[in-house]
Structure 1
């Protein structure tokens, strides 16, 4: 996918290559994500979806090629993380803080007001309002997934990079999540997700980018 000018590009990967020993996961991959677009990375397990997202967020150095996000090298400073929010790598939670206290901390650290109602709105959307006083380590895998999404959504961003955001969510929460992401896009945000759920990413309005294993 291409655009007319670099200023219209949120993410640009050129010749991106990732190898693990003798195994090539991504081989000279080119990808361009226009600002304001939604792209869904699809394909079977092991084709490099998560690896690509890790490279785009600066959490992994590629073996070759380049990645540029909003004109800058990803993951190199605070300015990058003021624009990009991701679920690619789960953060380490503070053992003594509740779910709500974590969300307050994320909101404040990113210049927001924890009392402005956004945390309550996102918590209700994802069905975790009743978990406000719980500790993260006591949550089930599904609850933790919703908590991670909430911590991602309560901070400002221009680009969301989500790795299978629909996993372990029931149908009602998936619908609510898709509606939230459509609203994010309508407000000018850019979305890049990896997903195995075609119904979900189509309901968001994403364009498919099918990855396959490198030949050879």
Structure 2
């Protein structure tokens, strides 16, 4: 991260409130391209809400967010650059795990036959589940499927909400290696995490969140 790095994510005076409950209070954040940032803090301090705002899935009550100098969540071009696990997609009942991954990759401008899907499936131990239907997967398998569907998309920014949850040590280590390679290739990573060993292994800079003043 250098002082002259282009800005991937710019959060300015961001406030999110639900009725009288303030979740985020005038948050300012600037994330250069190629950076790795982990949002850390106890449950309920607004980490996921901030990620949703960055992904364009949550409208702020005040303030602004820009991603690659544009308003997040608007238009095909945004989603050709940004991949996220913040909001789980709705899977098609009749399509297998592999058919979903093919669809995700081709819909986002990638080639489903270039071997990338096979590499990521092998990385996350999903190869043997290729012919399964998503609804038949366990919670841990669904987490791996969600991460795989996110990783097979071409992107410049990854927004991950607790990617380490429900995963065993071996899979976590594989994901760490994948994320380090992603950033080394020029990608930017923003994630919420409760696992200090995980985000430190990825090489993230931690940004700690607390509850807004006066909130129980």
Distance (whole Å) between structure 1 residues aligned to residue 111 and residue 85 of structure 2: 22
Distance (whole Å) between structure 2 residues aligned to residue 73 and residue 126 of structure 1: 32
- Which of 182, 185, 192 lines up with 1:184 in the alignment? 182
Measure how far apart 1:3 and its partner are: 6.4
- When the two chains are superposed, the root-mean-square deviation of aligned CA atoms in Å is 1.1
Distance (whole Å) between structure 1 residues aligned to residue 45 and residue 158 of structure 2: 21
Match of 1:120 in 2: 118
Match of 1:138 in 2: 136
* Greater alpha carbon shift after TM alignment, 183-192 vs 110-119: 110-119
Match of 2:191 in 1: 193
Q: Deviations over 1:74-96 (max 9, x none)?
A: 00110000000000000000000
Match of 1:16 in 2: 14
Paired residues of 1:178 and 1:204 also in contact (CA < 8 A): yes
Match of 1:94 in 2: 92
- Which of 45, 51, 54 lines up with 1:53 in the alignment? 51
Q: Deviations over 1:155-189 (max 9, x none)?
A: 10000000000000000000000000000000000
Aligned ranges for residues 138-157 of structure 1 at < 5 Å? 138-157=136-155
Q: Secondary structure at the match of 1:50?
A: helix
Measure how far apart 1:113 and its partner are: 1.4
Q: Deviations over 1:7-46 (max 9, x none)?
A: 7100000000000111101000001111000000000000
**How many residues matched?**
214
Aligned ranges for residues 166-177 of structure 1 at < 5 Å? 166-177=164-175
Q: For structure 2, list consecutive stretches of 5 or more residues without a partner in the other structure.
A: none
Measure how far apart 1:190 and its partner are: 0.2
Measure how far apart 1:107 and its partner are: 1.1
Measure how far apart 1:115 and its partner are: 1.3
- Which of 159, 162, 170 lines up with 1:161 in the alignment? 159
Q: Secondary structure at the match of 1:183?
A: helix
- Which of 19, 22, 26 lines up with 1:28 in the alignment? 26
Task: Return the TM-score normalized by structure 1.
Answer: 0.97
Q: For structure 1, list consecutive stretches of 5 or more residues without a partner in the other structure.
A: none
Tell whether 2:60 aligns with 1:62.
yes
* Greater alpha carbon shift after TM alignment, 112-121 vs 186-195: 112-121
Paired residues of 1:3 and 1:9 also in contact (CA < 8 A): no
Paired residues of 2:80 and 2:109 also in contact (CA < 8 A): no
